[in-house]
Amino acid sequence: MKQRKMILAVLIVQLVIAPITVQAAILSFSTPSPAASQSWIKQGLLGDEGDVTNLSTGFVGKNQVPILIYAKLGKNKLYCAYHETPSKPGNCGVDNSWYCEEEYFPLGLNSTSLSQLALYNLYSNPYTPYDKNVMGYVYESDNLIYTVRNFYCDDMSQPGGGYWPIIQLNKFGKLVGEPSFQYDMNGHETATITVVGEGIYELIYMRYTGINNTTCIDESSPYQCDVIDSSLSVMGPPSLWVSQSGSFPAIAYTKAGALYYAHPDIYSGEANCGPGGNTWRCKFIRNFGADSVVIDGVDLEIYESVQVAFLEDNTDISETRLNLANYVGSGGNCGEDNDWDCQEIQTLGSDDRDYDFSLQIEQNEWNYPVIAFSYLDSLLKLSLAYPKERLGETIGNCDNTDWVCQEIAGGLLSSNGEETSLSLNSSGLGFIGYLERISFLMRTNLMIAFQEEWKIYLPLLAR
């Protein structure tokens, strides 16, 4: 990372400045998204699944096959489900249209440490005659963070996979929450974790350098681990994003009840964290107030613009609110330099319970943020929120009328929306995994919701 400093400086400047300019240009959306008006279908994938945790979703390969993974409390297994293909006929879901499988980990798996899945589509390998797609994740077991790499072809056949340890936790501290995991532009693993040891919290960033060292693990490894930020105040689990056009990382995290954003910043003169204490810039987006704190749990996404979804606890009235921060560069209403725009979107309900949410940015020319979230009515419900312009409306129906709130799942007898995970395909069509709890039956169902027009874009999946 220290070689060719001038080239790296130009790369970082471009990657930091480019989102600023585009973000300033898209504050007034104009073109509705065709995907916004497509209807949603709800289906039960698996009934009575029990203690599901750390569910995440994505799309695999050129055919954009929807996939989800999750763990269960107390189980040394990873559970995976994806839409059937000709090579993988269905064995679960409505009309057996989905394929479900389990992977057992004999060394153990801390279910609450499972990261979100990461995808690197069209992975080229010089030793094989075809391109493959990579799906991976990381998890903790017996003081080690393991990475798992599974290969899928576009028809979801599996040419191989493997797993190995990448971080030794006793070099840093005890894991806080779950790691955040991504692939870099070359398909190498990157991860961010929060740890605590001897009363000090640390934000650790792991990346592939190809140079063997012992910063991550006692045995020599081509991965390097750097301390990005440390504090005596409580720090929450992070959200990592890595550029696909250049190895530029960005991290959102919480510290002392405030929301922070960190990125490499070697030459601007404003660096205040990272290796050496002067290679990254760590600054707050939303500071805590006398009557509000940012709740641990953030979701960072970047496509043309930098956007962070987060929850804020309004302590004086005991309610939780869903927020979104956009990086605007200048003239904003939050951030250390008024360089972010923060919007309160919707009140979710009483702050005495947990709420789940998941941010995605609709790509191509739209760049709309779309958030799936749970909220408390008489029971928990699942909804979407997105800017009113995405639907072509002049006024929305969320608490913030610049946003549209669209109910996806709710009912009189069931609670919906725990473990919410949203993914959008290249056409902006959505796929959500979530839980439905029916308390009087003591039953928890694994549910999916998807938009009807998948078949137009994914002919392989049409039945």
DSSP structure string for 189-234: EEEEEEEEETTEEEEEEEEEEEEEESSSSSS-EEEEEEEEEEESS-
pLDDT at 244 over 90: no
Q: Mean pLDDT, to the nearest integer, of 101-127?
A: 88
Output the pLDDT for position 460: 39
Looking at the DSSP bridge assignments, the partners of residue 386 are 404
DSSP sequence for 34-89: GGGGS-EEEEEEESS--SEEEEEEEEETTTTEEEEEEEETT--EEEEEEE-BTTB-
Bigger pLDDT: 130 vs 318: 318
Output the CA–CA distances (angstroms, integers) from residue 26 to 20, 23, 257, 303, 366, in the order listed.
10, 5, 30, 12, 9
d(CA 112, CA 358): 17
d(CA 275, CA 192): 14
| pLDDT tens digits for range 373-426 | 999 999 999 999 999 999 999 999 999 999 999 999 998 899 999 999 999 999
β-pair type (443-451, 221-231): unpaired
Of the pLDDT bands very low, low, confident and very high (cuts 50, 70, 90), residue 459 is very low
Output the pLDDT for position 365: 79
Domains of the chain: 5-36+57-368 (2.120.10)
Give buried/exposed letters for 33-52 (b at 16+ CB in 10 A, else e): bebbebebeeeebbeebeeb
| pLDDT tens digits for range 375-384 | 999 999 999 9
| pLDDT tens digits for range 143-169 | 999 999 999 999 999 988 899 999 999
Of the pLDDT bands very low, low, confident and very high (cuts 50, 70, 90), residue 124 is low
Of the pLDDT bands very low, low, confident and very high (cuts 50, 70, 90), residue 234 is very high
Output the pLDDT for position 129: 52
Of the pLDDT bands very low, low, confident and very high (cuts 50, 70, 90), residue 266 is confident
pLDDT at 4 over 60: no
pLDDT at 246 over 50: yes
Bigger pLDDT: 356 vs 366: 356
The mean predicted confidence, pLDDT, of the chain is 89
Q: Mean pLDDT, to the nearest integer, of 36-61?
A: 96
d(CA 324, CA 312): 10
pLDDT at 226 over 60: yes
Q: By percentage, how much of the chain surpasses pLDDT 70? A: 88
d(CA 435, CA 46): 10
